[in-house]
Chains A and B, each alone.
Chain A
Amino acid sequence: MAKSKTSDEQIPSARGRRRSERHEEHALAEPARRPMSVGHVWVVGLACLLVGSFLNAPGIRKTALSQPVGWKRDVATELANPLYDVSHALLLDRLRVGLQEVIGRSGDDDLDLTLPSPTIDRTPSDASAPKPPPKRAFSPTNQARLWVGGDSLAISPGESVINQAVATQSIGILRTVDGHVATGLARPEVFNWPAYLASVVANSSPDAMVLTIGSNDDQTMTGEGGVGPVGSVEWQVEYRRRVGGLMDSVTGSGDVTLFWVGVPQMRNVPRYEERYKIINEIVKSEADLRPNRVYFVETAALLAGSDGGYADFKMRIDGTVIRLRAGDGVHFERAGADLIAGAVLAAMHQAFDLTSWQQATATTTTTTTTAPKKANPKPTNQKS
C-alpha cells in the first residue's frame, strides 16, 4: 500500500549520499527535450510506419494473406504484395531475414500452400478386412512418445492430457503443448499443419499424436484446391481431401497413432450445428477409414448439458458445480479440459497396452518378495 512518507526512509551512507547527490545533479542538469508540432509528430509517425512496413514486408504479406477471406484480405493483399516486391528488390527485407536467423526463427514468413492428398484405398472395409494387429505395449522403461498440439482449443486440454498421460508412467512427453492459435486446415498460408506435422514425425518420431484442429476451419479454404463457401458440396470434398491427406501423411508409416479431438459444442449453437457438425462428421468418417491408425475423440456429448446442448457449467454426481467453458463460449476452463483429456486417455488405452507392465511388476514383486521399485517417475520432457 502506498502510505504517506514514512519511517522506513533510510539515512544514506556517505557513499550513498554522494551517489544520490550525483543523481540529483544529473537530474537538475537533465538536457531539455525539444518539443514538436503536431504536424511533425504526424510526419514521424508516417515515416515510422513506412520504414517499418518496408522492413517488415515479408511479415506484413503473411499477415495480409492470413486475414479472413473477403474484401479486407483482398485489399490488404493488394497493398502488401507490391510492398513486398519493392522491399525484396531493394534488399530491405534482408534485415528481417537476418534477424530471424540470429534468433533461430528462420522460415517464419515462408508460405507453403501445398497440401497432401489421401493415399489409402477409400473403399469401406468389409468382413474380409484383416484382423487388427495386437496392441502396442508401453511401460515405464519403454514409454510411448507423445506429441500434443493443435489450435487454441488444444492448449488447455493438451495440458490436461499431458498431466494425465504422465500419470500412467507408460507415456513420455516429447514437448509442451504445441499450440498454434487461429490455425487449421482451411488456411495453409496461416499455418501449414500437414507440412509441420511431417517435420514433427521426421524429427521426433512420436508414437502417438493428439491433434486438435477444426474450430478455425469454418471458412472458405485457400491454398492448393481452395474453395468456398463453407459447407458447400465442393467445400466438403476438398476438406475431406485435406483431412485424409493429413491423416495419411502422419500415420502412413504405421509408426504413429493419431488421436484427433473433435470440435465441441459452442455457445453459438447455429455455428456448431451448421458448420462444426459437418467438420466433425468428415473427420470421424475419415478416421473410420483408418482403423487402429486414427482415433476420433468425440467431445460434443462429453461437454453437453443435461439437455444435450451447450453448457457452461455442469453438476458433478457429487453435487458440486464445475465450470467447463471459458467466458467466450468456445475455449475451456480446467474442468472442461480435464474431461476432454479423460476421453483422450480412454482412446489411448483402447489403442495401446499401457497397463500390463503393472501386472508384470506385481507378479515379480510377489515372486521375489522384494520391495517394489518405484517406476521411473522422471518425465521425458525433451523438446522436439
Chain B
Amino acid sequence: MLFPTITFALFFMIVLPLSWLLMPRRRRWKIFMVVASYYFYGYWNWRFCFLIAASTIGNQLIAQRIFAAPTEKLKRRWLTLGLVGNLGVLGYFKYYDFFVSEATNFLDSIGIHISPEIIAVTLPVGISFFTFQAISYIVDVYRGTFEPGRFLDFAVFLSFFPHVVAGPIVRPSEFMPQLKEEHDPRQIDSSRAFFLIFIGLFKKVVIANVLATEIVDSVFASPNQHSGLTILVAVYAYAVQIYADFSGYTDIAIGLALLLGFRFPQNFDSPYTAGSIQDFWRRWHMTLSRWLRDYLYIPLGGNRGRSWRMYRNLMLTMLIGGLWHGAAWTFVVWGAIHGFFLCLDHFRHARRAELGRPDPPDTVRRRVARRLVTFHIVCFAWIFFRAESFETAGDLLGRIVDPSHWFDAAPLISVGVLLAIAAGIGEQYIPKHTMARAMASFSRLVPVAQGLVLGLALLVINTMGPSGVAPFIYFRF
C-alpha cells in the first residue's frame, strides 16, 4: 500500500480511531496494530508477511537466548547465529543474483565455464529496513544496553506500518519503551503531524515525480541524446528528486506515527545545506548513518588506534553502506566517493590540529563556497548511484565536460523542472522558526478550517503531480 493513495487514506482513517480506542487495553492494541501492519505490508505481496513473521520469531528467540546465556562465549555464539541468519536472508533476497552472475562472469573470464541455475529472486519491499532494525535489537541485547521485550512488543516494533517499508530505521530503545508509556488521546501534536504529512506528499508527488518524469529518467537512460547543460541540470534534478522522494516518505511516516501517538527520530536535516561531506552525513538519512556508525564503524574499531585504521574503517563502512543500497558495483563506487571525501575531511582536520592552526573564520563567502563544493561532490556521487552502469556514468560525465555538446538543444529544461529543483533546495533553507510559527498558527484554527486548508493542499498536490503514483525510490533498498 502506498502512502499517497486513496486506499491508504481510507485505511488510515479506520486505523486511527480504532488504535486510540484500543490504546488503553495494551494487549489488544498490540494485536490490532500487528494485524493492521501486516495487512499494510501484505498489500504488496501477502507471501512476504511470512518473511517478516519469521524474522520476528527468529530474532525474538535469539534475543532471549542471548539474554539468558550464562557466559559471554555463549552469548556471542547466539549473536553470531542471529547475525548470520539476518544477513543470510538479506543476502539471499538482495544479492543472490548479483553474486552468482558476477561469479559466473569472473570464472568465464579465466576460462572456467559453468552454467549455474540462476533464479530471479523477488526482493521483498523494505527488507533492508526491518532486517537492520532486527539486528540492532539483538546487538543491543548482546551489549546489555537493552533487555529483550515481550514478543508482541517486538512484533509491533518490527512491523509498525509507518516505518516498515522505508524507515526511518528506529532503534528498539527508541520505540519499545513508548509502548509502555501512557498516550493521551487529547494531546496529539496534530499540526506538526499534518505539516509533515502534507509537505512530504508535496515533495514526493509533485517535486520528485515531476523531476523523474520530466527530465531525470530520460537523461539517465540516454545520456548521449542530450546536451551537457541538460545533463548537468538532470544531475541536479536527481539530487533533488532522491531527497524529495526519500525525505518525503519519512516525513509522512513520522507524521503518521505522531498521529498514532509515537515519536520517530528525525531522518533528514536539510542535507544540501551541508558545508562538508562529514556534515552531509549528519543530515542525510541520519538513522542509517548512525546505524552504520554504531553497528559497523565502531565494531570495526572506529577512530581508535592508528589513523590509517580509522581511514580503513571509514572506507569499509561507506563501501558496505553503498552495497546496502543495491547489488551493483555502481553503488560501491558511490560509497567509495563518499568514503574518500570523508577521509579527506578527517585528514584535513587532523593535519590542521597537528600544525596548531585554527579553523578559518566562518564568513558568508566561505560558507557559500563550502556548501557549493559539498553539493557538487554529492551530485558527482549521485551520478554513479543513479546510472545503470559505469558506461552510462561515463557518458554522463563525458557529456558534461565536453564543450562541443554543451549548448545543444535542451528541450527538457523546462520552467517546471527549474521550479521543482528550486523548490526542493529552497525548502531546506526555510528557517525552522518560520515553520514553527506556521504550525502554531495552523494549530489554532478550528478543526473544520484545518480540514479546509488541507483539502486545498490536496487539490494542489493532486493537480500538479503527474498522473499515477511512482513507487518510492527507497522501497527497493
Contact = CB atoms under 8 A, between A and B. Distances in A.
B87 interface: no
Interface stretch (B127-135, B154-162, B220-228): B220-228
Interface string A168-189: 0000010111000110000000
Contact of B440 (A7, A13, A32, A329): A32
B464 interface: yes
Contacts of B259: 41
Contacts of B289: 1-2
A163 B221 CA distance: 9
Contact of B13 (A42, A63, A156, A315): A42
Interface in B308-340: 314, 317-318
A41 B20 CA distance: 11
A329 B120 contact: yes
Interface in B3-37: 6, 9, 12-13, 16-17, 20
Interface in A50-84: 50-52, 54-56, 59-60, 63
Nearest to A34: B443
B16 A1 contact: no
A309 interface: no
A149 B226 CA distance: 18
A46 B441 CA distance: 21
B459 A55 contact: yes
Contact of A44 (B119, B121, B190, B440): B190
Contact of B431 (A23, A38, A162): A23
Interface stretch (B49-57, B143-151, B164-172, B274-282): B274-282
B293 interface: yes
A380 B104 CA distance: 41
Interface in A347-384: 378-383
Count chain B CB atoms within 10 A of each CB in A8, A95, A163, A378 and give the residue with the most.
A8
A313 B454 contact: no
Given A23-B431, A175-B411, A382-B409, A321 B101 contact: yes
A203 interface: no
B394 to A, nearest CB: 14
Interface stretch (A96-104, A137-145, A236-244): A96-104
Contacts of B20: 38
Interface string A27-41: 100111111111011
Contacts of B364: 15
A36 B447 contact: yes
A48 interface: yes
A176 B342 CA distance: 38
Size bracket of the B interface: 35 or more
B358 A11 contact: yes
A131 interface: no
A264 to B, nearest CB: 15
B389 interface: yes
Contacts of B218: 159, 176-177
A162 B218 CA distance: 10
A334 B222 CA distance: 11
Given A51-B455, A163-B222, A325-B120, A31 B431 contact: no
A47 B450 contact: yes
B455 A383 contact: no
Interface stretch (B78-86, B180-188, B375-383, B422-430): B180-188
B149 to A, nearest CB: 25
A8 B456 contact: no
Contacts of B194: 44
A3 B303 contact: yes
B411 A1 contact: no
A327 interface: yes
9 contacts: A3-B293, A37-B188, A38-B186, A43-B447, A47-B452, A51-B456, A55-B456, A159-B218, A378-B408
Given A23-B432, A380-B409, 13 more contacts: A6-B349, A11-B361, A15-B364, A38-B17, A38-B20, A41-B16, A42-B16, A44-B451, A49-B9, A55-B459, A63-B6, A159-B222, A381-B225
